[in-house]
Chains A and B, each alone.
Chain A
Amino acid sequence: MLAAALGVVLLSSIVYSAFLLGLVFLSIAGFYILLNAGFVAAAQVLVYVGAVNVLILFGIMLVNKQEDFRPLPHALLGKLATGAVCAGLFALLGTTVVSTPWAISSEVAIGDRAIEAIGMHFFSDFLLPFELASVLLLIALVGAIILARREFIPDLDAAAEEQVLTLPERPRELVAAGVNESDSE
C-alpha cells in the first residue's frame, strides 16, 4: 500500500497515479475491516473508490493536456529539501508513536453492532455536526456546479431569440431560402 502511495506521488503519468490512488483507497478499506469497522470500510469503498476516484479520473480526462512543465530553477534541490523535511516529520511522528505509553483498552470490540452505535452517536451527541455536514454537502454541491459551469456569453439579438422557439430544421431552410433569393437577385 505504501508502494502504491509512493507511486501516486512519484509516477509521471497521472492516469496511472489515479488508478494507484484507487488501489490505496481499497487497501485502506481492508485495514478498516481489520480494525473491526465494517461500516466505515463500506463507506470508504463507496465514497472514495466509487465517487472521489471516479471524479478525479473525470477531472484528468477533462483537463488532460500533455504539456511539458517549464523546468524550474533548483527543482531538484527543492525536492530533496522537501524529502528531507518529510523524512524528519516521519521520524518525529514515529518516535512519538513508539515512545508514548498508550492506554490500550481491554474491552471487547463492539464489532458488528458498530452501525447501531454510529447511528446513536449521529442522532444524539453528534446531531449538530451531522446537520452541519449535510448543509456543507449542499453548499459544496451548489458551489461546485457554479464554479465548473461553462459561462455562455449572451450575444443574442432579436432574430436569434425568435429562432430559439423554432424547430432545429427550420432556421436552416430559412437561411437556404435567403441565400437563394440573394443569388437570384
Chain B
Amino acid sequence: MQLEYYLLLAAALFCIGVFGLVTSRNAIRVLMSIELMLNAVNINLMAFSNYLDPQGIKGQVFAVFVITIAAAEAAVGLAIVLSIYRNRDTVDMEQFNLLKW
C-alpha cells in the first residue's frame, strides 16, 4: 500500500506542475513548474524501482538520467529567457510571439 501513496504524491505534484505551467505569466515560474513535473516523474521512477524492482534498480538509473536532462534543460531555458529579456525587455509569457506567425 506504500507504493500507492508515493504514486498519488507524484500525481499531485505533476498536476500542480501542469497548473503552474499553463497559468504562469512569468517565464521563470514556467521553468520552475517544469522542474516540478520532472521531479514528479522522478518520484514515480524511484517508487517503482524500490517496490517492483528492488534488486536490479533500473529506476534509479533512469532517475539519474532525468536529473541530468533536467539540469541541461534548466540551463538552456534560463539562457533563452535571458536572451529574450534582453531583446524584448519583458518576461511576460503572453508577449512572446516571436514564433507565432
Q: Which residues of A contact B (CB under 8 A)?
A: 1-2, 5-6, 8-9, 14, 17-18, 21, 24-25, 28, 31-32, 35-37, 39-40, 43-44, 47-48, 51-52, 55-56, 58-60, 62-63, 65, 67, 69-70, 72, 78-79, 82-83, 85-87, 89-90, 93-94, 97-98, 102-105, 107-110, 114, 117-118, 121-122, 126, 129, 133, 136-137, 140-141, 143-145, 147-148, 150
Q: Determine the chain A residues whose CB is within 8 A of the CB of B16 once the complex forms.
A: 2, 5-6, 8-9, 86
Chain B: interface size category: 35 or more
Q: Determine the chain B residues whose CB is within 8 A of the CB of A148 once the complex forms.
A: 78-79, 82-83
A104 touches B51 (CB 8 A): yes
B13 touches A5 (CB 8 A): yes
A137 touches B72 (CB 8 A): yes
A83 touches B92 (CB 8 A): no
A171 to B32, CA, bound (A): 47
> 7 closest pairs, A vs B, by CB?
A9-B20, A140-B72, A147-B79, A93-B11, A148-B79, A144-B79, A109-B54
A131 to B59, CA, bound (A): 18
A107 touches B19 (CB 8 A): no
Query: Which residue of the partner chain B has the closest CB to A148?
Result: B79
Known contacts A18-B32, A32-B46, A133-B65; is-contact A37 B19 (Cβ 8 Å):
no
A114 to B26, CA, bound (A): 39
0 or 1 for each of B20-36: is its CB under 8 Å from A? (1 = yes): 10111111110111011
B72 touches A136 (CB 8 A): yes
B50 touches A56 (CB 8 A): no
Q: Determine the chain B residues whose CB is within 8 A of the CB of A65 once the complex forms.
A: 90-91
Query: Which residue of the partner chain B has the closest CB to A69?
Result: B25
Known contacts A55-B74, A60-B28, A104-B3; is-contact A69 B92 (Cβ 8 Å):
yes
